Chain A
Amino acid sequence: MTALAALIRRDIRIALRVGGGALIGVLFFLTVVVLMPFAVGPDLALLSRLGPAILWLGALLASLLTLDRLFMADHEDGSLDLIAMSRTPLELACAAKALAHWLAAGLPLVVATPVLGLLLNLDMVATGAVALTLLAGTPALTFTGMIGAALAVTLHRGGLLMAVLVLPLSIPVLIFGVAASQAAIAGPLSFGAPFSILCALSLVSLVIGPFAAAASLKHGLD
């Protein structure tokens, strides 16, 4: 347990220090959302209708792009070798790293949502709904994306290839995330059904992600 806590503490510390990537994700999120009105026009009614979708797409891309180096950095400096050799099961170590990443890079996205909601003319209820769905859904994005991050180490390739591999897997999260937000804003569906499916997706990815990442990392370290 101390081993995992130490790993989480270390990763968060690195993310928050100089050269860490925690705040770049939020900045990217902000930039994507600011770009949208330039593409669709400054029509506030249209923006508020598209708001949840824009926020979700921005969060999806931001959390995916910051994941790129989740394992790669540890691989390059040799830390991953020592982590793989240690008594801590690699699956748990992967889960701890993903959790640390979510705390440092995913949670700030949720916190930034209300500010961005203002820009998109979302009211209080809508902003709250989007923030809540992001809170429930971004863990799924992180834990699905970590598979791609682990593949990037095995393949010695990151970037676009990883995005191409992982994005199709995150379609369900996007569908239910946006659907739950829309349901809370306009109906006619209840908020509960898509939201609980979204939570279920997060829980499933919490299990699949670490196992798949560890399977890819194990013996992929040569």
Chain B
Amino acid sequence: MATALETTPVNGGPSDETAALKSVEINKYDFRTDSPAVFKARKGIDAEIVAQISEMKGEPAWMREFRLDAFKIFESKPMPKWGGRLGIDFQDIYYYLKPTEHQGKTWDDVPDAIKETFDRLGIPQAERQFLAGVKAQFESEVVYGSLQEDLAKKGVIFTDTDTAVREHADLLREYFGTVIPPSDNKFAALNSAVWSGGSFIYVPKGVSIEFPLQAYFRINAENMGQFERTLIIVDEGAHVHYVEGCTAPMYSSESLHSAVVEILVKRGGRCRYTTIQNWANNIYNLVTKRAMAYADATMEWIDGNLGSQLTMKYPAVYMMEPGARGEILSIAFASAGQHQDAGAKLVHAAPNTSGRIVSKSISKNGGRASYRGLVKVEPGATGSRSSVVCDALILDEHSRSDTYPYIEIEEQDVSIGHEASVSKIGEEQLFYLMSRGLTEAEASTMIVGGFIEPLVKELPMEYAVEMNKLIQLQMEGSVG
């Protein structure tokens, strides 16, 4: 067991809990289903629906089999008994909509609250329509055409996953479902059975992409979905920063979003995946995100979660070979009626691997933010180092914060540190700022902004600006 452990180790807990930690993340774009349908699978899920989805997409037999097998696993797995309360009726959900349906909706259908938030975030009109699901796609062809060309010249593949099944079948098939097999957890199985959309990225050996790749650079429309499926392969010595989602609130009439994100970073490669998501309050946001980092490779997850009814999301890095590095930075903001059960997972599966988790959560107006994390050192992973810092800020006495740090160490000669702090906005801090002319609300917002600053400064500039605005809106209570 641990030698250099700086904190009391918590046993693995019930095995289904830790197993389920291998689970869960999400997607950002959302459907509306009351638009005129070209094709809409009937409500609910069974093998027939799963086969029908595959058929509608014109998929090869192997993918259809993959889906059907996954569906069996989904049926056989119990719901997770930990995390948050999951009141999901799986038979009351539409699992597939053809993307053409998005065009049926008009701007008038978008709720005023969402429009107002777009206003306040200063999002351009074209982008708003996209975000609200009015347009199936951002004007990416026009704006990003030259970018696509440039990427293609370098051999980079950046497309939606459905297209990749058709056009890059061999490459996709080699890795699809290998990082997160359908058997991983119930929601990974569900996603595997009914997935649609998501990004497929391949960065060839030694290619470094200087600017962040963003989901809406993609040309194809089929990028929205409740069950998005993303696969990123960073080849040896390659480098990519992928940015998913945006800070505008995701509007959806559906209640379940369950995505799977698989990433492989090969020897000496480097991948950063940034997500900021702000869900409407009716959403269950259950996502499985995992990366495998090989020799001297670096994987970084930067993850911001706002809104939703319940989010369960624990981005993971498995450090598979010596010198691999994993870093997970996350921010969760839980307000009234929201439970953010978010965290991170680092698995040291090889010697001299290093990891860092920094988690910041804020709870307000009765919101609940939980940090749930696992650091695991497998036998043989000598010389591994990990540090975990989780800080919670509670804004009022109605709100709640919990920390569930699991640490499993099966090797000597490792260094694992864990620090956790829970603080309330101090009367003294508020008074100090107010004595300089800031109102109480301005002072609280400033303290919260400072609290998350260490993570916000890791974001691309425009995201950092939006994130700060979003926190301001949250603090005013005018959003979600």
Q: Do A and B bind each other?
A: no
